[in-house]
Amino acid sequence: MRILFYLLSIVIANVVTARFAPLEFGMFIVPMGTLFVGATFIFRDLVQNKYGRAKTYLFIMTALLLSALASFLLGDTLMIVAASALSFVIAETADTEIYTRLKLPMAWRVLYSGIVGGLLDSAVFVIVGLSPLGAGILPWEAVPTAILGQIIVKTIIQLFGALILNQVHVRKEKALV
């Protein structure tokens, strides 16, 4: 189920981003799919926790192919597909490696690795895909707030995920006692 949730969250993020207008919170612009992108880091950590780091990279490559295919089929330009793939690989790799190296309870590893992954995903995608360097959808003036808006949303999702995982862990410990 973990693998399915991981892969589905990535495809859903692409579909939701393509089909719904971005949310606007004051000066922040956040694509609707960002809500699901934040969850992908949590699901990826759950996959890694069960299957290990090496197998997780196979699932990341599968997810990358699914994401690129979904993005392309939804009509994204080649530049957007490439930016999405690049940001995905960088963010998922960072999340995987940080999660692996932290010697903390799972909830903290999920939180910290997800925050870094979300930051990298947001910055790379907005700069490479949406800025004048990429598709030119956003002017340079809008790039910082677009990145920051996505980082805020992804961090909130990571925080909720970490809190839920912590509660599950606490309940399991109480049940063992």
The token duo for 170 is 């606490």
pLDDT tens track, the chain, 177 positions: 999 999 999 999 999 999 999 988 888 989 999 989 989 999 999 999 999 999 999 999 999 999 999 999 999 999 999 999 999 999 999 999 999 999 999 999 999 999 999 999 999 999 999 999 999 999 999 999 999 999 999 999 999 999 999 998 878 777 776
What does pTM read for this prediction? 0.92
pLDDT given for residue 177 in this prediction: 63
The Cβ of residue 8 has, within 10 Å, a number of other Cβ atoms equal to 16
- CA gyration radius, the chain: 16
- Here the contacts of 10-13 (C-beta below 8 Å, separation 24 or greater) are 10/36, 10/37, 10/40, 10/63, 10/66, 10/67, 10/70, 10/88, 11/66, 11/67, 11/70, 12/36, 13/37, 13/40, 13/67
CATH of domain 1-175: 1.10.1760
- Report the half-sphere exposure of 66 (CA within 13 A, side-chain side): 18
Inter-residue contact 55 to 106 (CB < 8 Å):
no
**Domain spans of the chain?**
1-175
CB 151 within 8 A of CB 122: yes
